[in-house]
Amino acid sequence: MADRLKGKCAIVFGAGSSGPGWGNGKAAAVAFAREGARVACVDVAEAAAAETAAIIREEGNEAIALAADVMNLASVEAAAAAAMEAFGAIDILHNNVGVTHMGGPVELDEERFQAALDLNIGSVYRTAKAVLPHMLKGGGGAIVNISSLAAIRYVGYPYFAYYATKAAVNQATVALAMQYARQGIRANCIMPGLIDTPMIYRQISGQYGSVEEMVAARNALVPLGKMGSAWDVAAAAVFLASDEARFITGVCLPVDGGQSCAIGPMS
């Protein structure tokens, strides 16, 4: 299937990758472009945004690279304005920014707890605040937020702030969906389960004795037998952003290989 997003303009926050390989935001940006969208690739690291935009252009599609800090409203608004100047519209807002800080409320210091709030849920607020006025003027749009299976399940890691903030992303998505439904704006979120992306090697691997142990343990938890990839998340994002999902809003979609249905490791 191709051209499902033809004629649409997307802005992807977190479009770079946190290391070599394919992160969820990077894959989503490229997948949107492959389906015909013009894409504004936004990342706090300008080089990471530029890398994603270059991949899109090398494939013959249209993209721009923008640097923005989602913890700063003025920075986010400037990115939205640049996307509007380049494309004349924003039809799709994709939020793919998040951080995991390990620890329960006893171990986690207040500074890192506040940082998790500011980034994981604050980014949804700021990007929506910056982009919604453009969508409203344009007559509608689609918002896709990246949440986590951790929003609805304890997944084995002691990251209190991550559970709390990703649950907030779910309900914030529902709130957006209901408030703006009559204005032609849909909002949905994706709850990735155990996905093999560069982030896990940077933020999760320290919970294990080795990288190999981490990969084996995470694979064992997935009913389908192995972790998903960023492309699994990207495929769901394309669907939710497309007109194929025109009657779907307020949904929190697990992309987890069945893990949300299981009660423990698979044999």
Clarify whether 162 is annotated catalytic.
yes
Angle between helices 46-58 and 24-34 (to 10 degrees): 30
> Which of the following is catalytic: 159, 162, 163, 180?
162
CA distance 261 to 256: 9
Measuring CA to CA, which residue among 45, 46, 63 is closest to residue 54?
A: 63
Instruction: Give Cβ neighbours of residue 266 (< 8 Å, ≥ 6 apart).
Output: 220, 221, 222, 223, 225
Query: How is the beta sheet containing 9-13 ordered, strand by strand?
Result: 63-67, 38-43, 9-13, 92-95, 141-146, 185-192, 252-255
Catalytic residue positions, numbered: 162
